Chain A
Amino acid sequence: MFLNEVLEVGAFTAISLYILVSALIAIKAKDSIYAAAALGMVGLGIAGLIAMLGYGYVAAFHVVIYVGAAVTFVTFSVLMLREQPAEFKEIKVLAALNALLLAGVYLLAIRSTGIGELGSVYLNLGEVARVIIEQYWFPLLIVFVSLATIMIEGIIVARGEEK
């Protein structure tokens, strides 16, 4: 039991470090493609952490959307446009302040929820669907309408280009 916990914490720490290193590479990389690949690695790491917390379903879709789709689009854009990242003036003080602020917000969030109180739970997708349909039908309707609108817009844009 103890060994399992040690392994779990070890894996969690290793994945977290991997995410931090990948994130650093994503920011520091000179080429957009390397940055995109590192972003993909960050996404995979985060999916790993989500899976370790017991939400495999969310982890799978995290990989599909944030790694599969998002990184494909970034690499696709880089390949099409051959665009290099713009140079920004370093604003270290502001960045440090921002990081501190963000850390404070995270700490507050963690303190308010309480570490260790939330264990992994079994996610019954049928139950989730039932709750969404019964209790959140209006937001669901808005999502459907928005998606349908985007799809129609997409079709109009595509047909416009055909002409």
Chain B
Amino acid sequence: MMVLEIIEYIIRLILSPPIFAPIIYPGLVTVLVILLSIIWVERKIAAKVQLRYGPLYVSKPIGGALQMLADATRFFFQEIIVPRDADSIAFLIAPAASLVLPLLPIVFVPAAPSFVAISVEYSLPLVLAISALTPIVIIVMAWAANNKFTIIGGIREAFMVIAYELSLFISALAMAIFYGTLNLEDIVSMQKSLPGVILNPLAAITFFVAMVMATSRLPFDIVEGEQEIVAGPFTEYTGILYGLVMGAGYVQLYILCLVFVELFLSGWYPYIGLLGEIYPALGGVSLFIKAYLLMVFIVFLRSVYGRYRLDQAISIGWKSLLPLSLASVFLSLGLLAAGVVI
């Protein structure tokens, strides 16, 4: 009897949102599945566009879908090399921090109505604030490796941050101004009938482009610039450390896609009540599907766009995105003044 009670208690504990959300959905386990699948999807799409097969060698019957799992396993067994001139402590700690920091905001991102690890009134600025810390780790990484390619990559990262950060925040705040709340859950609940993207498309476009810049996806993968600076700040990393830094970018992409869907695409609506009765997080599966499709669209950009130069990207950030984000704030204020009520 005692054992059964303990098991029941443990199951209840695991299923409680403060544990389930950060560890299983939308947290760690989901992130792992996404990492393994989205890289495969990205490579497959790029291959289709370039009339190739893409990854096929591992698990041929299912289109090479397990290739990423094989790659991850390989990373585990590869030697970790710390360059002689590198600052070894920062060099080793930074990759772990680069994966943990983008993952932290997940505790403030609701996955379904009242389903969030830590419920706070100011979840939107908190998520954006913690996401804003990742570039620091990338700069530290570049400094620690002490190599000309990493330093150039680090400086590029810093320039990019200055170019997109302001627009990302302002466009998100434009939606907060319109909905009158900084709570992501409240923002989603107000989009039940009309998604934010229809009300304020300017904010959506700005946030989207800034998000692509923030996650260093093409056409803004200037920080890594494979053909120019090897792998930018990640050049000296090998083995599992490289696996971590490579995964960090996708984790940040996932978190920002969740925020985009919650700000502009009605979040977990249409809510599937039937699944919600089984477990609350399941009802909000639309949020995950939309975020995943958005990720697929963003990784698809790799196949159709060339890379911008750094000066072009900065120019886009300051001359196009910033005015657009400010315009989105005025649009929100205009909608409020016009008495548009959700």
Interface residue ranges, A against B (CB under 8 Å)? 31, 33-34, 36-37, 40, 56-57, 59-61, 63-64, 67-69, 71-72, 75-76, 78-80, 125-126, 158
Residue of A nearest to B137 (CB): A37
The answer to whether A31 touches B121, judged by C-beta atoms less than 8 angstroms apart, is: no
Q: Does residue B158 face the partner (Cβ distance < 8 Å to A)?
A: yes
Chain B residues with Cβ under 8 A from A63's Cβ? Answer: 126, 129-130, 132-133
Is B53 part of the contact surface with A, judged by Cβ < 8 Å?
A: no
The CB with the most chain A CB atoms within 10 A, among B90, B129, B161, is that of: B129
Chain B residue, CB-CB nearest to A62: B129
User: Chain A residue with minimal CB distance to B140?
Assistant: A33
Whether B270 is near chain A, meaning CB under 8 Å from some CB there, is no
Q: A76-B155, A76-B158, A79-B158 are in contact. Are A61 and B129 (CB under 8 A)?
A: yes
Distance in Å from the Cβ of A160 to the closest Cβ of chain B?
A: 15
B90:A56 contact, CB within 8 angstroms? no
Asked if B133 contacts A78 (CB within 8 A), the reply is: no
- The A contact surface, by secondary structure, is helix
Given A64-B132, A126-B180, A79 contacting B90 (CB threshold 8 A) = no
Question: Closest 6 A-B residue pairs measured CB to CB?
Answer: A68-B132, A60-B125, A76-B158, A63-B129, A75-B139, A64-B129
Contacts of B120 in A (CB 8 A): 56
**Would B139 and A40 count as touching, CB distance under 8 A?**
no
- Report whether A57 and B182 are in contact in the complex, using a CB–CB cutoff of 8 Å: yes
Asked if residues B155 and A64 are in contact (CB atoms below 8 Å), the reply is: no
Given A68-B133, A69-B165, A79-B151, 16 more pairs with CB closer than 8 A: A31-B87, A33-B144, A34-B90, A40-B133, A56-B122, A57-B121, A63-B130, A64-B125, A67-B136, A68-B165, A69-B132, A71-B136, A76-B139, A78-B143, A125-B182, A158-B318
